[in-house]
Amino acid sequence: MLNTDNPESRPLLTNEQLASLGGDRVAYLKPIRSEDVSRLFPAAPAIQPGLQLFALVAADGTPIIVTDSRDAALANAMSQELEMVSLH
């Protein structure tokens, strides 16, 4: 993270430090298309193209689950006691 007011500033945190802040307790929900599943989940079987899906992703970018239901992804996060964060 950089201080954009000072062009000579150094990052406050490295990308790795920023990703590890949440440890294994923070996750976010990412809407994805079925065409993107193989990139996030290389071992996933082929999925019909054109579907709107939801990926639950750990703070460090590690995918946790993919589902066709936002509610199912949120329920999974709750069952794992994950803190959900909003990305903008």
Q: Which domain holds residue 44?
A: 15-84
How many percent of the chain have pLDDT more than 90?
41
Q: Is the pLDDT of residue 2 over 70?
A: no
pLDDT at 34: 95
Any domain includes 2: no
29 vs 59 pLDDT, higher one: 29
Q: Is the pLDDT of residue 50 over 90?
A: yes
In this structure, are residues 67 and 73 in contact, taking their beta carbons and an 8 Å threshold?
yes
Q: Is the pLDDT of residue 43 over 70?
A: yes
Q: Is the pLDDT of residue 57 over 80?
A: yes
Any domain includes 76: yes
Any domain includes 48: yes
Any domain includes 8: no
Any domain includes 79: yes
The domain total for the chain is 1
Helix (H) or strand (E) holding 67: strand 63-67
What is the Cα–Cα distance from 20 to 4, expressed in whole angstroms? 22
What's the whole-model pTM score? 0.70
What is the Cα–Cα distance from 1 to 16, expressed in whole angstroms? 11
